[in-house]
């Protein structure tokens, strides 16, 4: 162990950091002897005073071993936002190389500068939209949440509208005295569940993501067929040993079919044990027509939006956004619930 | 095959190209929203060595609402009932469109490693799990051996 006195090079470095970084950007943890052991700072791209156009950020955590700066510190990059894995890995390895070069000298400023350069270079979200799983292209409208997550505006609108609908439906199911009296829906970020504020109406006006529109269709490959075969064989083997849950024996024939289900009357060829297939037979047709009509309206509305246009979050003007044009979906949901209600009824009969 | 949302296509392609160890999910021939799934029992769990068949269906408004998932192979677990239905928050109110087929199946596999008898779906199983854990684990192993092993 080194002597209890903190190395002068380290105290100087920390004084300088405190002078340059804002209090809320810098967090220095000390051990019980009062020696600094961990420096944490959130870093943004260098965009001058314009914080609106910072689309990426990362938290740099530097652990100072006793003996620093004669021993390299340990670098950690946490909570990367708008950055893909490769970029983060590159930043990490560059930072570690920098530490090796600077053994014997304070390295914090060099590290901060290095990470900032990386952030400035990749100051556009490079990862994919977590909702549609496609990237951001020139011409796409996207939204940066307060928690620095990125979504195509169109995708985020779909999420918030669906979440609000779910919230209302759940509220209606509760008895009056259990209902949330404020009846106030709070949208959350799909990735980190932080509360977010957004104006669904204006998000909906964005066109669907370009990559989504251009993606190719999927076809069943030979490899897939082979897997399907293996699965079917396993099913049969398990069935022979009585290992398959027998829904009929459990008295829940109704899991699959309901009288008001038009698919129930036609004899579908269904794979073994497919109690869930009946849902799709009725719903897939709806989804196709719905997608088409939505896309065409968005395209006509948004032909002028050809710029790469990030859309900053706006504060919500109240919560009376109407989910127009979603009656189809609503009906679909109610339909699933009907299926599950039936299961529940069957389930509640004594065993 | 009717037009599928691109996201489902992308997920299916990724499941094939970068399969998750211990999990396979294959879309059905006639219905690309219906997946045949096998989850292997996690190591050091009473389900180790088991191959569990599940069915997974992506509803009309997926990914805005959660996939419907059910065990097809019998399994002795406090959070999975006789019908194979699974008690897991991300399949209900904690669903987020940032979750995917692969993350859902990984969560289910994790549930096999960490049964939670305090939030039960199969009440008799959960009860035994609480009052006599070693017997419950013996049962789970026995069910795995009897129903889910493939030899």
**CATH no. of A142-214:** 3.30.40.10
Which CATH superfamily hosts domain A8-122? Ubiquitin Conjugating Enzyme (3.10.110.10)
Cβ separation of B63 and A276 shorter than 8 Å? no
A347 at B interface, C-beta within 8 A: yes
Buried b (16+ CB within 10 A) or exposed e, A170-180: eeeeeeeeeee
**How many Cβ contacts (< 8 angstroms) between chains A and B?**
167
A273 at B interface, C-beta within 8 A: yes
Q: Is the ipTM of this complex over 0.85?
A: no
Q: Which two tokens stand for residue A84?
A: 């893909």
Contacts with B, A 137-196, CB within 8 Å: 155, 158-159, 162-163, 166, 170, 188, 190-191, 193
DSSP A316: -
| C-alpha A330, offset from chain centre | 24
How far is the C-alpha of B151 from the C-alpha of B137, rounded, in Å?
A: 21
Question: Which residue ranges make up each domain of chain B?
Answer: 6-147
Q: pLDDT (tens digit, 0 to 9) for every residue of chain B, 151 residues total?
A: 345 678 898 899 889 888 899 999 999 888 889 999 999 999 999 999 999 999 999 999 899 999 999 999 999 999 999 999 999 999 998 999 999 999 999 999 999 999 988 887 878 899 999 999 999 999 999 999 999 987 6
Q: How far is B100 from chain A (nearest CA, A)?
A: 9
Quickly list DSSP for B49-107: T-EEEEEEE--TTTTSSPPEEEE-B---BTTB-TT-BB--GGGTTT--TT--HHHHHHH
Q: How far is B96 from chain A (nearest CA, A)?
A: 5
Question: Which residue ranges make up each domain of chain A?
Answer: 8-122, 142-214
Q: pLDDT (tens digit, 0 to 9) for every residue of chain A, 351 residues total?
A: 444 567 888 888 988 888 888 888 889 999 888 888 999 999 988 877 777 778 888 999 999 998 888 999 999 999 998 888 888 999 999 999 999 999 999 999 999 999 999 988 888 777 789 999 888 887 888 888 888 888 999 999 999 999 999 988 888 888 888 887 776 889 999 999 999 988 888 888 888 887 777 666 667 778 888 888 888 889 999 988 889 988 877 766 544 333 344 443 333 344 444 445 433 333 333 333 333 333 343 443 444 443 444 444 444 443 443 433 333 333 333 343 334 333 334 443 333
Cβ separation of B10 and A133 shorter than 8 Å? yes
pLDDT (0 to 100) of residue A215:
65
Place of tokens 């008295």: A251
Quickly list DSSP for A325-350: T-HHHHHHHHHHHHHHHHHHHHHHS-
Cβ separation of B148 and A250 shorter than 8 Å? no
Please provide residue A97's backbone torsions phi and psi, each rounded to the nearest 5 degrees. Answer: -65, -40
Domain B6-147 in this protein, CATH class: alpha beta
Which of the residues of B are catalytic?
Answer: 87
pLDDT (0 to 100) of residue A82:
84
């Amino acid at each position: 162990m080194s002597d209890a006195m903190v190395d002068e090079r380290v105290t100087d470095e920390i004084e300088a950091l405190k002078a340059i970084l804002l209090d809320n950007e810098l967090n220095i943890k000390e051990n019980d002897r009062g020696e600094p052991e961990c420096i944490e700072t959130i870093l943004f791209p260098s965009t001058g005073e314009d914080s609106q156009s910072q689309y990426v950020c990362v938290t740099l955590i530097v652990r100072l071993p006793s003996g620093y700066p004669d021993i390299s510190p340990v670098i950690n990059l946490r909570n990367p936002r708008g950055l893909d894995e490769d970029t983060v890995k590159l930043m990490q390895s560059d930072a570690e190389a920098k530490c090796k070069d600077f053994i014997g000298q304070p390295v914090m400023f060099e590290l901060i500068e290095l990470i900032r350069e990386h952030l400035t270079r990749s100051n556009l979200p490079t990862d994919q939209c977590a909702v549609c799983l496609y990237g951001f292209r020139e011409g796409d409208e996207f939204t940066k949440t307060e928690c620095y997550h990125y979504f195509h505006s169109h995708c985020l609108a779909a999420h918030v509208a669906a979440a609000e609908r779910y919230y209302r439906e759940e509220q209606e199911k509760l008895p009056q005295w259990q209902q949330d009296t404020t009846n106030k829906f709070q949208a959350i970020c799909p990735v980190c569940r932080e509360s977010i504020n957004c104006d669904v109406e204006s998000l909906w006006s964005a066109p669907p993501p370009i990559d989504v529109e251009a993606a190719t269709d999927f076809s069943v490959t030979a490899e897939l067929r082979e897997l399907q075969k293996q699965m079917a064989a396993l099913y049969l083997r398990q069935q022979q040993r009585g290992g398959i849950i027998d829904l009929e024996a459990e008295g829940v024939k109704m899991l699959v079919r309901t009288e008001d289900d038009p698919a129930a009357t036609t004899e579908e060829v269904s794979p073994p044990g497919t109690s869930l297939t009946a849902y799709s037979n009725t719903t897939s047709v709806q989804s196709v027509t719905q997608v088409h009509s939505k896309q065409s309206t968005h395209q006509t509305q948004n032909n002028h939006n050809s710029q790469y246009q990030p859309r900053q979050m706006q504060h919500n003007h109240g919560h009376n956004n109407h989910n127009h044009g979603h009656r189809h979906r609503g009906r679909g949901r109610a339909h699933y619930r009907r299926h599950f209600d039936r299961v529940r009824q069957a389930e509640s009969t004594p065993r | 095959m009717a037009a599928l949302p691109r996201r489902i296509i992308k997920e299916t392609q990724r499941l094939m190209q970068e399969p998750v160890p211990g999990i396979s999910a294959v879309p059905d021939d006639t219905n690309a929203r219906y997946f045949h799934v096998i989850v292997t029992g996690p190591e050091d769990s009473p389900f180790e060595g088991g191959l569990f068949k599940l069915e997974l269906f992506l509803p009309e408004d997926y990914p805005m609402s959660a996939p419907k998932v059910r065990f097809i192979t019998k399994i002795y677990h406090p959070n999975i009932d006789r019908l194979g239905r699974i008690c897991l928050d991300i399949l209900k109110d904690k669903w987020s469109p940032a979750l995917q087929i692969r993350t859902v199946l990984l969560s289910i596999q994790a549930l096999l490693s960490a049964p939670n008898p305090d939030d039960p779906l199969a009440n008799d199983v959960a009860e035994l799990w609480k009052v006599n854990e070693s017997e419950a684990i013996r049962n789970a192993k026995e069910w795995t051996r009897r129903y889910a092993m493939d030899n």
